[in-house]
Structure 1
Amino acid sequence: MPKKLKNLLALAFIFTSLIIFAQQPAPSQKVKVSGKVIEKLSKQPLEYATITFMSAKNPKALAGGITNAKGEYSIDVTPGIYDVKIEFISFKPTEIKQKSIQGNIDLGTTALDEDANQLNEVVVRAEKSTVEIKLDKKVYNVGQDMMVKGGTVSDVLDNVPSVSVDTEGNVSLRGSDNIRILIDGRPSNAINIAEALRQIPADAIDKVEVITNPSARYDAEGGSGLINIILKKGKNQGINGTFIASTGLPETYGLSANLNYKTEKLNYFTTAGYNHRTNEGGGLTNSEYFNTDGTPKSFLEENRDTKRTSDGFNGRAGIEWVISPTTFWTNSINYQKNSGDTRDLINYNSFDAAHAFTNSSFRLNDGNTGSQNVEYASNLIQNFNDKGHKLTVDGSISRNTDDSNSLITATNDFNNTLNNQVQKQVQFQADYVLPIGEGSQFEAGYKGSFGDLNNKYYVLDDQGATIPRLSNTLQYKENINAIYTQYGFKVNKFSYLFGLRWEDTNIQVNLLDTNVFNTKKYNNLFPSAFISYEISKQSNFTASYSKRLSRPRGRFMNPATNYSSNINIFQGNPDLDPSLTDKYDIGYIKRWDKVTFNTSAYFEDTKDVFSFVRSPTGEDVNGIPVILSRPINLGKEQKFGFEFTLNYTPFKWWKLNSNFNLYNVKTTGENSYTDTNGVVVTQNLDNQANSWFARINSKLTLPHKIDWQLTGMYNGPQNTAQGKNLGQFGMNTAFSKDILKDKATVAFNISDIFNSRIMKSYTHLEGQTSYSEMQFRKRQFNLSFTYRFNKTKNEREKQAPKNENNDNGGEFPG
C-alpha cells in the first residue's frame, strides 16, 4: 500500500476516534440536518434530489447535499435560520421558509410532485453511463454509452467493472465463469444464456449490478457471485422513447425501439429489436505425437475457418399498475426468437516423424440453429409505509426451445447430427422487509424454482442410422425450495447484516435411451455476514463472508457428444455433484473530489470444483488418436485475489476509469481413465497458477462536442493442469456526436481494433502435445443512429456529483 495512503488511513482512524469520544457540539460548531425525499404518487425514494440551505436575507447557497439510493440525506450546517429548498429534475420544488436550525434535526419525509410543464419543455440530451461504487456491489448505469450503441447486453457487460465477456459470449466475474446471471432479479431461463444475452438490445437496459459476495436474500447458486441486469421502465409521464438503427462490417444490421407511456395510474413499457449478425472466426491446432520412447511419431496441422450468421428478434411488453399509492402490480411478457447458420471448415495436413507431408483431408460442418423463448412475469409490491416496510411477490413461467442440426461432410465420411431441447420453468418468490426502530431491518422470504429439460441428441451415419454410442435422450428435472432470513442494524459508525438461507434440492438426471436413472437429493445451510465501518464521509471499510453453491448445468451434464471435430470431442458428465464455496471479502472505498478508489482482497475455498480434463478414448481416425474432453469433480480449489477500481476525472472533458484483478488459483485432485490396453491411468491434476486482468477506459470530449471513448483490456497468461493459456489483449474505440438539437446521436465504434482477441493455449497429454489458437469473432465496425423523443436527460447525470461515483455508507451491505 502506498505510504501516502497509509498516512491518510491513519489520520482518518485518529480523527474518527476523536469524534467518538468528543462531547456534544458547541453552538459554534456544525449540526446535522437529516430527512428523506420521495415521489408523492409512488412513494418511491428519489436518489440525487438536491437540498440547498440559503440565507433568509441573501439567496446565495450556504450549504447543501444530495440524497442517497434510499432518498435519505444527512447534511452538516452551521446553526442559524435558513430557507431550505428541496428539488429534483422534472419535479416541483418544495421550500421551507425561515427554518430555525440550532441543533441536530430531522426534517422528516418530503414528497415531490411531477412537473408536467417542465417535462414538456425539457431539452433532450444523450444520457451518459456512470458507475456507482457501493459497499456490497458496483452499479453500472448504462445510459446511452457510445461504446455499446446499437449493441447488446453482451457488449454492455464487457464494459462493466470486474466483468469480462469472451468472444464466444461467455461471461466471467473476477476471472471465473462460475457465476449466476439474473434479469430483473430473476435467473435467466434461457437454455443458451450467451445467445440470449446477445438478443437483448443495450438500449433496453437501465443498470447492471455486480454482486461479488451476495447475502442470504439471493440464490445460493453462483460460486463467484451474481450479475443482475435491470431492464428499463419509464419514469416520466406521457409518451417517450428511443429508436436505434445500426449497421456494420462484417455484414451486421439492426433496428430497436424502446417506448414508454405513463399516466397517473398506468405505466406501459415495451422494447422490440431485430438484428442480423455475421461473425467471422477461425483458428488452428498444431499437434505433435510421440512414440512410447518419447521420439517423434507424426505431426498434424488443423486450420479452421468459421462463419456464423444469425437473425434475432427480442420483444418485451408490460404494464405497471398503481393500484393505490402504496400498491404496485407489474406484468410483462418477454419473447425471443433466433435462427442462424454456421459453416465450419477444418483442413487437416498430416506429416511423418521427419515432418514430411503425407496426406491431407477436410471436415465441413454446415449447420443451422433455431431457438424460441417465452416468459411471463408478474411482480406485486405492497408498501405498508414510507419507512421501507413492504412485501414483494414475484412469479414467472417460461418455455424455451433450442433446435439445431448439422450436416458433416469429411474426406471419407458423412454424418448428420440432430439436437432438440425443450425447457420449462416455474418460479415463485416472496420477500418481506420490516424496519425495526432506528437503523435496524428484518427480512425473510421464500423461493421455489421448478424446472424440466428434455434434450434429444442423435448422430446419424451415412446410411441415416443412429450411432448409439454418440446419441442419447437426456431428461433433467430440478426442484429447489428455499427460505431465508436476515437482520441488519447500525451501531454508531458500524453496520451489520447477518443472514441464513436454507435450500432443498431434488434433481433427476435420466438417460432414456440407455435406461440410466440418477437422483440427487441434498439440502444445505448458507450463512452470510457483512460488517462495514464508516471511517469518514469519504471512506468506508467492509468485511463479508458467504457460503455459495454451484450446480452443474447445461453442457456440463449433457452426455451428448459434440461432434464438430472427430478427433477432439466434448462430452458432458451427468454424474457431476455440486460444488460448495466459502467466500471471504475485505473491501475499502475512498473518495476525493476527482477520484474514487475501491479495492478488495478476496479468498474462495471450493470443494468438488468442476474442471475439464482431456484423455485419449482409445480410438483413432486415420491413425490420429481421438481425445475426449469432459468435466469432472476435480477435488479442491483455493483462489486468493486482489482487485481495485479507480475512477478519475482530471477535467470536465476527460474521465478515466480502470479495473485491475490479480489472483492465484491452487487446485488439488486427480482423474482416472482406462487406456487402450485396459490399464487404469491416473492423471495428477494438481496445479497452482497466477493470472491477472486489467481494463482501462478513457472518455474525452473533443472540439465540436465530439465524444471519444477508448478501452483497452488484457487477460494475463495462466498455467493449467494440462498446459498453459497465453495472454490476450484487445482494444475498442468509439466516437459519437449529438445532432438535431441534441435529440439524436450518431456513433461509430470499432471492436477489437488490432484483431488480437485470440485464445492461445498449449496442451500436454500422454503421447501428445498441442498448440492452439481460436478466434470466435474478428474485428468489427459498427455505425448507429439514435433518436429520442419526449425523453428527459438521465436524472443520474443531471443530479449526480461531478465525480460520478457515489456510495451509500448508511445502507446495509446486502
Structure 2
Amino acid sequence: MKSFKIFFILLVLSISTLTFAQRPEPKKIKVTGKVIDKSSTQPLEYATIVFQSVRNPDIVTGGITDAKGEFNIEINAGNYHVRVEFISFKTIEFKNRNLTSNTDLGTLLLSDDATQLEGVELRAERSTVEIKLDKRVYNVGQDMMVKGGTVSDVLDNVPSVSVDVEGNVSLRGNESVRILIDGRPSNAININDALRLIPADAIDKVEVITNPSARYDAEGGGGILNIILKKGKNQGLNGVITGTVGDPRNYGLTGNINYKSENFNVFSTLGYSDRNSPGRSMTDSKILNPADGTILRYQDERRTNNRLREGYNGNFGAEWFLDATTTWTNTVSYRRDDGRNPDEVLFYDYDINRNLTGIRRRFNDQQSSGENVEYSSNFMKKFKKDGHQLTIDYSTSINKDNDDSFIFDVDNQTTANIQRQTRNLAQLDYVLPITENTRFEAGYRGDFTKVVTDFEVFTDEGSTGEFVFDDTFSNLFEYKEYVNAFYSQFGSKINKFSYLFGLRWEDSNIGVNLLSENNFNNKRYNNFFPSAFFAYEISDKSNVTLSYSRRIQRPRGRFLNPTANLSSNINIFQGNPDLDPAMTHAVDLGYLKRWDKLTFNTSAYINRTDDVFQFIRRESGLIIDGVPQILSGPINLATEYRFGFEFTLNYTPYKWWRLNGNFNFFRNETLGQFNYINSQYQSITIDLDNIATSWFARINSKITLPYKIDFQTNATYNAPQNTAQGRNLGVLSANMALSKDILKDKATLAFNISDVFNSRKRISEINLPQVESYSEFQWRVRQINLSLTYRFNKPKNEKERVPRRENGEDGDFMGKP
C-alpha cells in the first residue's frame, strides 16, 4: 500500500508540472538554417544557436544543430542578437535582428579559430541524458559516478535500466534485453562477467532502444542496449588518460589516444585493472515436515567471498578515408583476465528449539582465466545523394574461459570448467533516399556462434587420497547458433506525420548437444519479425509515437547447460537443455515534450511473451546431511503479460544545477505450472500462476559549485515484487561523487562512493513445501574510488566535428527518413 501511495504522489506531481508548464504563450515563430565547416564543407552537429533579447538581455534562448547541421528553433517574436557558436570555430553574430515571422538564416559557414585552440575556452556541456523520439542516449563522459568503475556500473545509472546484485541487466524490469557493443553482439561467453571487466572510462555513451525496428537484430524481447566505445575524431594527436585507486582494492589505468589527418585516423584504447570485489550472503531456512508443514529444524547458511580480478584490455584501429565518400575501418581488440574467488560457506544446524547441533564448513577455491581476440572491419560508401549509402561489416572472434575449483568439504572435490567460443558476424546495410522525406532500407546479417563447455568433477575417495572422476555432474556440452537474417524498411514523412514499416526474416539453426552422452538435439526454425512505427509532430517541441515489433529471446549459456555450480551442495543451479525460445509482441505508446528548462518523455507499453523463461526452485530428491537438496533453474511457461508505463524528466532549474529522473511502473502476469517428484517420491505440482506489480525510480542531481567543483548524487529504489515461489523485498541504494578541474582544465580529479549506505542487496523470501527461507545476497560491498583524468590536445567537452555512424544502428527515423 505504501508503494502505491508513493507512486500516486509522483504521478500527481508530474501531472501538476505539465499543467503548470502549459500556460498561454506569446506569438511563436520558427528560425531555421544550416551550419557547416567552411574548410571541409561537413555539417557541424551540436553547434549552438543563441538568441539574446535586445530589450531584455537577461532573456536568452536557443538550440543546437542535428546530425545534418540543421536547426529548427521556436522562439518568441521580437528583436534579438543572434550568435552561432561551435568549439574551436569563430563565432558568427547578427546584431539587432528583427524576427517577427518565420525566418530562414540560410547556410552559415564557420571558420577555424586557431587562437581558441591554444587558450581556455567557454564550452556548453552536453546533457548527461539526451532524450530522442525512439531512444535515449546516456553520455558517460560527464558522469563522475562511474569513474574507476565498469560497464555494469555505467548501465546501472542509465534511465530505465537496472543491474541486480548478480550482474543481470534488465530494461524496464525485463531481463530479456539484447546488449550490443558498437552495434554488434558481445563476443563474450558470459556477458555479465564481460561487463564487469570493461572499464567505464572506455565507454562514450549508451543507447537505450526500448522497441527496436526491423533493422536491428530481433533478439531481446525487452529491447536493446547499445554500448558505444570511445574512438577519437579530433584533428591531430590527442587523447585521455585516467588512473584510479580505490577501496576495496581497485587499481586501474585507461588510456585513449588517436591521431587524425586528412587521409586517415588511427585510434587505440588500452586498459589495466586489478580489483577485489568482496561479497557476502546469508540464508536462514526452516526445514518443514511435508506432511503437515510443521517445523522440523533450522539451518543458517553464511557465505563470504573475494572476487579478485586482474585484467588487460586494448584495441587498435585505423580509419582510412579512401576518398571524400568512402571510408574503411579495421580494428583489432584483445582482452585477458585472471581471477581468483575464494568462497567460504558455513552451515549452522539447529534443532526445533534453536539449539545448535552442528557446524559444517565448505570452502571453494576457484581460479579462472580468460582470453579474447577479435578482428572487425567496416566499409562505408556514401553516394552523391544525401543519405544514400552502403555499409559492410565483418567481425571474427575467439574467446577462451577456464575455471578451476578445489572444494573442501566432507567429500573434497575438484572441478575444471573449460569453455571455447568462436563467433563470425557479417552484415550489409543499404539506405536509398527516394525523395527528401522518403527512404528505403534493406540488409543482411549472418551470425554464426559455437560454444564448447567441458566440465569435469573429481571426488576424493578419502581412504586412498585419490580423486575419482564423478560423472554425476561432469559433461561435455556444445551449443551452436547459426542465424541468417534479411530485412527491409520503408519510411516517409508527410507534413507532421511520419511512418516506418519494416519486416525481418530470421532462419535459426540451433544445436544443443551433450557430447559426453551422445545426445544431439537440433532445433531449426524460421520466423518473420514485422515492425511498424508512427509519429506525429504536435509542435517543434512535442511529439507522440506509436510502435509495434515482434521479438525473440533464445536461451543460451547457463540457461541450457546442465552443468551445476557446486559452490554449495545444498542450493544448486542447473540449466535446462530442452528450453525453447520465447516470442514477444511489444507495443509502445510514447509522448515527448520539451520546454526551455524541462524535457519530459513518457511511454506506456504492453508485451505478450509466449514460452517465457521462469526460474523455479524444487527438490532434487537427494538428502544432504539431513537437508533436502534444492535445485534452481529455468523452464518454459505458457504465457507472460507485461504492462507498464514510465517517464523520464530532464530539468535544469539553473545553469549550475541539472536534474534527471526516471520512474517505471510495471505489472507482470504469468500463467503456468510445473510437476516434479520430491524426496518422498511424491508427485508435486507447483502452481506458477503469479501476478506481480512493482516499480523502480531513480533520480540524479549534478551541481556545479564555485572553484570548478562538481557535486553529483543519485538514488535508486527498487520496490518489492512477488514471485511465483516467494517475494523480493524493496531495496534503496545511493551513490555520490565530487570532481574538480585542475591544471588549467587539462585534468580532472574525481572522488566517488558507490553504494553509500552499503544497502545494495537482493533480499528475498522463498516458500517451498519442505523449506521456507529468507536470504540476503550482496555481490559487492561499498566501493570508494579516487581517479585522475588528464587530457592532452583535447578540451574537456569538445564535440566531434563529423558525426560517427555506429554500424548503421542510428535508429533515427522519425522526421529523417
Instruction: Report the Cα distance in structure 2 between the residues aligned to 1:523 and 1:329, rounded to whole angstroms.
Output: 33
Alignment of 1:393-408 (within 5 A): 393-408=392-407
Note the C-alpha offset of 1:525: 0.6
Compared CA separation, residues 272 and 127, structure 1 to 2 (3 A): farther
Paired residue for 1:591, among 594, 609, 615? 594
Q: Say which is worse superposed, 114-123 or 266-275, in terms of deviation.
A: 114-123
Instruction: Report the Cα distance in structure 1 between the residues aligned to 2:235 and 2:384, rounded to whole angstroms.
Output: 24
Instruction: Report the Cα distance in structure 2 between the residues aligned to 1:82 and 1:691, rounded to whole angstroms.
Output: 50
Paired residue for 1:532, among 532, 535, 538? 535
Instruction: Report the Cα distance in structure 2 between the residues aligned to 1:642 and 1:61, rounded to whole angstroms.
Output: 36
Alignment of 1:12-161 (within 5 A): 34-39=32-37, 45-51=43-49, 65-75=63-73, 87-91=85-89, 118-121=116-119, 123=121, 130-161=128-159
Note the C-alpha offset of 1:198: 2.4
Compared CA separation, residues 155 and 431, structure 1 to 2 (3 A): same
Deviations 1:677-734 (A, max 9, x none): 5443221110001111111111112233321111111111111010111111111111
Instruction: Confirm or deny that 1:641 pairs with 2:644.
Output: yes
What residue in structure 2 maps to residue 745 of structure 1? 748
- Alignment partner of 1:577: what SS? coil
What residue in structure 2 maps to residue 180 of structure 1? 178
- Structure 1 unmatched runs, 5+: 16-28, 800-806
Instruction: Report the Cα distance in structure 1 between the residues aligned to 2:240 and 2:181, rounded to whole angstroms.
Output: 21
In structure 1, what residue type is equivalent to 2:601? Answer: N
What residue in structure 1 maps to residue 225 of structure 2? 227
What residue in structure 2 maps to residue 25 of structure 1? none
Paired residue for 1:604, among 607, 617, 622? 607
Instruction: Confirm or deny that 1:708 pairs with 2:711.
Output: yes
Conservation of the 8 A alpha-carbon contact between 1:12 and 1:535: no
- Alignment partner of 2:196: what SS? helix
State the percentage of identical aligned residues. 57
Instruction: Confirm or deny that 1:670 pairs with 2:673.
Output: yes
Conservation of the 8 A alpha-carbon contact between 2:134 and 2:812: no
Paired residue for 2:688, among 685, 689, 694? 685
Q: Say which is worse superposed, 103-112 or 785-794, in terms of deviation.
A: 103-112
Conservation of the 8 A alpha-carbon contact between 2:437 and 2:816: no
What residue in structure 2 maps to residue 297 of structure 1? 296
In structure 2, what residue type is equivalent to 1:328? Answer: T
- Alignment partner of 1:700: what SS? strand
TM-score normalized by structure 1? Answer: 0.91
Conservation of the 8 A alpha-carbon contact between 1:458 and 1:466: yes
Instruction: Report the Cα distance in structure 2 between the residues aligned to 1:53 and 1:725, rounded to whole angstroms.
Output: 52
Compared CA separation, residues 356 and 140, structure 1 to 2 (3 A): same
Q: Say which is worse superposed, 188-197 or 566-575, in terms of deviation.
A: 188-197
- Alignment partner of 2:167: what SS? coil
- Structure 2 unmatched runs, 5+: 1-10, 461-465, 803-809
Paired residue for 1:519, among 518, 522, 539? 522
In structure 1, what residue type is equivalent to 2:214? Answer: A
Instruction: Report the Cα distance in structure 2 between the residues aligned to 1:813 and 1:676, rounded to whole angstroms.
Output: 63
Instruction: Report the Cα distance in structure 2 between the residues aligned to 1:157 and 1:811, rounded to whole angstroms.
Output: 26
Paired residue for 2:274, among 273, 276, 286? 276
What residue in structure 2 maps to residue 560 of structure 1? 563
Instruction: Confirm or deny that 1:629 pairs with 2:629.
Output: no
- Alignment partner of 1:155: what SS? helix
Instruction: Report the Cα distance in structure 1 between the residues aligned to 2:52 and 2:124, rounded to whole angstroms.
Output: 32
Deviations 1:144-184 (A, max 9, x none): 42112222222221211111222333222111221011111
Q: Say which is worse superposed, 676-685 or 275-284, in terms of deviation.
A: 676-685
Conservation of the 8 A alpha-carbon contact between 1:653 and 1:700: yes
What residue in structure 2 maps to residue 650 of structure 1? 653
Paired residue for 2:195, among 171, 192, 197? 197
- Alignment partner of 1:471: what SS? strand
Note the C-alpha offset of 1:812: 4.5
What residue in structure 1 maps to residue 335 of structure 2? 336
Instruction: Report the Cα distance in structure 1 between the residues aligned to 2:208 and 2:262, rounded to whole angstroms.
Output: 33
TM-score normalized by structure 2? Answer: 0.90
- Alignment partner of 1:199: what SS? coil
Note the C-alpha offset of 1:637: 0.6
Compared CA separation, residues 38 and 510, structure 1 to 2 (3 A): farther
In structure 1, what residue type is equivalent to 2:775? Answer: S
Note the C-alpha offset of 1:769: 0.7
Note the C-alpha offset of 1:659: 0.7
What residue in structure 1 maps to residue 344 of structure 2? 345
What residue in structure 2 maps to residue 449 of structure 1? 447
Note the C-alpha offset of 1:233: 1.8
Instruction: Report the Cα distance in structure 2 between the residues aligned to 1:363 and 1:595, rounded to whole angstroms.
Output: 55
Instruction: Report the Cα distance in structure 1 between the residues aligned to 2:801 and 2:18, rounded to whole angstroms.
Output: 31
Instruction: Report the Cα distance in structure 2 between the residues aligned to 1:373 and 1:500, rounded to whole angstroms.
Output: 34
Instruction: Confirm or deny that 1:167 pairs with 2:165.
Output: yes
Conservation of the 8 A alpha-carbon contact between 2:128 and 2:142: no
What residue in structure 1 maps to residue 788 of structure 2? 785
Instruction: Report the Cα distance in structure 1 between the residues aligned to 2:19 and 2:531, rounded to whole angstroms.
Output: 27
Conservation of the 8 A alpha-carbon contact between 2:746 and 2:795: no
Instruction: Report the Cα distance in structure 2 between the residues aligned to 1:675 and 1:305, rounded to whole angstroms.
Output: 30
Note the C-alpha offset of 1:385: 2.8
Deviations 1:369-393 (A, max 9, x none): 1111111111111111362111111
Instruction: Confirm or deny that 1:409 pairs with 2:411.
Output: no
Instruction: Report the Cα distance in structure 2 between the residues aligned to 1:536 and 1:329, rounded to whole angstroms.
Output: 40
Note the C-alpha offset of 1:37: 3.7
Paired residue for 2:699, among 679, 689, 696? 696
- Alignment partner of 1:468: what SS? strand
Instruction: Report the Cα distance in structure 1 between the residues aligned to 2:812 and 2:207, rounded to whole angstroms.
Output: 17
What residue in structure 1 maps to residue 574 of structure 2? 571
- Alignment partner of 1:436: what SS? strand
Instruction: Report the Cα distance in structure 2 between the residues aligned to 1:681 and 1:40, rounded to whole angstroms.
Output: 75
Conservation of the 8 A alpha-carbon contact between 2:252 and 2:272: yes
Conservation of the 8 A alpha-carbon contact between 2:234 and 2:800: no
In structure 1, what residue type is equivalent to 2:441? Answer: E
Note the C-alpha offset of 1:642: 1.2
Alignment of 1:473-492 (within 5 A): 473-492=476-495
Paired residue for 1:433, among 425, 431, 434? 431
- Alignment partner of 1:513: what SS? helix
In structure 2, what residue type is equivalent to 1:692? Answer: W
